[in-house]
Amino acid sequence: MVPILKKERAASCSSLANSEKARQRLWEASMELLGPWLSK
Amino acid sequence: MKTLAITGPTSGIGKETVRALLPHFQRILLLARDEKKAQQLIGSFTLAEQEKLGFVACDLMRMDSVLAAADTLAQEIPHLDVLINNAGGIFDEKTITVDGFEQSLSVNHLGHMLLTLKLLPLLLRSQLKKVIQVASEAHKGASPRWDDLSYSKRNYKGFQAYANVKLYNILLAKSLVDQYGAQGLQAFSLHPGVVKTNFAAETKGIFKFFWKLAGPFMITAEQGAKTTVKLAKEKIPPAYNGAYFKKRARGLLFFPGE
């Protein structure tokens, strides 16, 4: 197990990268585009 | 048998990642478009090391090729411990792939997403169950339009398209944890640093200018591979599942001893 210093955290990313809504929108949009191949 | 698959393994960070992880895995599958380059890489190792390596044709610009690669893996290995979605590129000109996707979106995001979803059964059968997405700090310049991922309704700008897909890399890691974390899947994304590779060779204009200007301050591909290598070989605490990692910077996850 990699020891983690308590005061250190995972890297700060943009608010968009932390946005649950963005995550959901991307997932939905990508799944739609990939649909024909996902069903193969 | 610990197994790993990596995209973009024949140059830059990918090549160094393979070198560094070779002692830690029993089987490494190189998912690449260019077989000659992959075979050259394989040939650069000792005979014993070469036996651990295999080439699998995978063109992230063609979804049928991605499906074929996933099928090959399913035939070759019983499980997959770690998948490193490393391949990437920035493209000045807008190009539409045979599948109708903007090239940057296809190579950096959609190809990897399809590959990951198709490899999920193999990943979930393994011990480590890890997906690693090589993203970038460039994601901070993202300006996505969810109804237009392929730039059909707005003007294409190479760097913005790149920033967008790097954001998608981070979001996908988090989504994979949302969807499959309960089954033990771990997914991470990372910024490798600004690495001196031929990554921006095909760009021009302002981006190429800044890339040249930054040259002396860039890190080597070997240094750039370090965060990926750490994430692939170390056990990461569950609290960090889905996290975005960056090395040696204040306030970020830090791997002691470096």
Answer yes or no: do A38 and B246 touch at CB < 8 A. no
Q: Are B66 and B83 in contact (CB under 8 A)?
A: no
Query: How many Å lie between the alpha carbon of A1 and the closest alpha carbon of chain B?
Result: 5
Q: What is the ipTM of this complex?
A: 0.89
pLDDT in tens, A23-39: 999 999 999 999 999 99
pTM summary value: 0.90
* Cα(B131)–Cα(B128) distance, integer angstroms: 9
Determine the Cα angle at A25 with ends A24 and A29, to 5°.
120
Q: What mean pLDDT value characterizes chain B?
A: 91
pLDDT band at B15, cuts 50/70/90? very high
The predicted structure's pLDDT at residue B88: 95
Encoded tokens for B257: 């001893």
Q: Is the confidence at residue A14, as pLDDT, over 80? A: no
Query: pLDDT: is B197 or B105 the higher one?
Result: B105
Q: Which chain B residues contact residue A35 at CB under 8 A? A: none
Q: Which chain A residues contact residue B245 at CB under 8 A? A: 10-11
Of the partner residues B139, B172, B249, the one whose CB lies closest to the CB of residue A14: B139
Encoded tokens for B30: 């190189």
Identify any residues that bridge with B15 across adjacent strands, giving them in sequence order.
none
List the domains of chain B with CATH numbers.
Answer: 3-255 (3.40.50.720)
Answer yes or no: do A34 and B172 touch at CB < 8 A. no
Of the partner residues A1, A10, A25, the one whose CB lies closest to the CB of residue B146: A25
Is B162 one of the catalytic residues? yes
Residue of A nearest to B232 (CA): A2
Query: pLDDT: is B220 or B19 the higher one?
Result: B19
Q: Is the confidence at residue B202, as pLDDT, over 80? A: no
Q: Percent of chain B having pLDDT more than 70?
A: 87
Q: Is the confidence at residue B98, as pLDDT, over 80? A: yes
Q: Which is the catalytic residue, given B162, B168, B180, B244?
A: B162
Q: Are B234 and B242 in contact (CB under 8 A)?
A: no
Interface probe for A, chosen from B85, B174, B227, B247 (most Cβ of A below 10 Å), is B174
Q: Are A11 and B252 in contact (CB under 8 A)?
A: yes
Mean pLDDT of B130-146: 94
Query: How many Å lie between the alpha carbon of A5 and the closest alpha carbon of chain B?
Result: 7
* Cα(B183)–Cα(B117) distance, integer angstroms: 14
Answer yes or no: do B244 and A10 touch at CB < 8 A. yes
Q: Is the confidence at residue B198, as pLDDT, over 80? A: no
Q: Can you tell me which residue has the tokens 């109804």? A: B147
